[in-house]
A and B are shown apart, each in its own frame.
Chain A
Amino acid sequence: MCNQTVCLIAAELERQGISTVAIQLLREVSLRVRPPRALFVPFRHGHPLGEPGQPEGQRALLEAALRMLEDPTLRSPALLDYSP
């Protein structure tokens, strides 16, 4: 349910003029709910940014999210896969 919750919050933020990226753990939920920008990560629930104690991995994932914001070719809804 967490996936839907952050998608719905993201949509409201975008309506108020705030750009968003929602990390997503369940593709089938994202495809149905359709957040403006979703980054699918290959991790289990409870591990949205990977394994604990690995800041390099967290940095790389956040950088991928930031690049989604900078990509002028993306159109709504933008649903991308993240590969560590």
Chain B
Amino acid sequence: MGDISEFSLKVQLFLKAYRWRRIDPVPWTPLSKPLASCRVALVSSAGFVLPGQEPFDEKKRGGDPSFREIPSDTNVGSLADAHRSESFDHAAMLRDPNLAFPIDRLRELQESGRIGQVNRRHLSFMGSLTAIGRLVAETAPAAARLFAEDGVDVALLVPV
């Protein structure tokens, strides 16, 4: 288990005072069909961007709530770590981006028939958001609409 003590004292004090957003009511969508028939997508908050994509805005106060689309045929080695946080070890996911964006594992699950299909695109967010207003009001709903248009049944979400 990750622990708050991994962080600097300054970050620990911030996290202890931070007013976390409580989801209420908690929505619940049960599976409507077997996983072997489901379309699955990934959401990573590792701040990955592809070459040529606009980087996340590191100077935006409260964090950049936008997201980048990552096509399903992406070679994970081409993902660039644009996460601004200094509060975690970046070396591991740079060495193995599947740690934070397990697209190779998802392809295996499709090949084995455990899931139906890997969606044609996935989403990358910059997770270190302290101001969540625009995420909740705009970009998360936009992400959900995009996946709904694709017919996504299941999303797996990976923080770092």
Interfacial chain B residues near A49, Cβ < 8 Å: 98-100, 102, 158
Q: Which A residues are closer than 8 A to B by beta carbons?
A: 1-29, 32-36, 40-53, 55, 58-59, 62-63, 65-66, 69-70, 72, 75-77
Interfacial chain A residues near B29, Cβ < 8 Å: 14, 17-20, 36
Across the interface, do A11 and B27 meet the contact criterion of CB distance under 8 Å?
yes
What's the least CB distance linking B123 to chain A, in Å? 8
With A1-B129, A5-B45, A46-B92 as known contacts, state yes or no: A20 contacts B155, CB within 8 Å: yes
What's the least CB distance linking B83 to chain A, in Å? 8
Interface of A: prevailing SS: mixed
Say whether B154 faces chain A, with CB atoms less than 8 Å apart: yes
Across the interface, do A1 and B130 meet the contact criterion of CB distance under 8 Å?
yes
Interfacial chain B residues near A20, Cβ < 8 Å: 29, 154-157
Across the interface, do B158 and A6 meet the contact criterion of CB distance under 8 Å?
yes
Residue of A nearest to B142 (CB): A12
Interfacial chain A residues near B140, Cβ < 8 Å: 8-9, 11-13
Interfacial chain B residues near A6, Cβ < 8 Å: 43, 45, 125, 127, 157-159
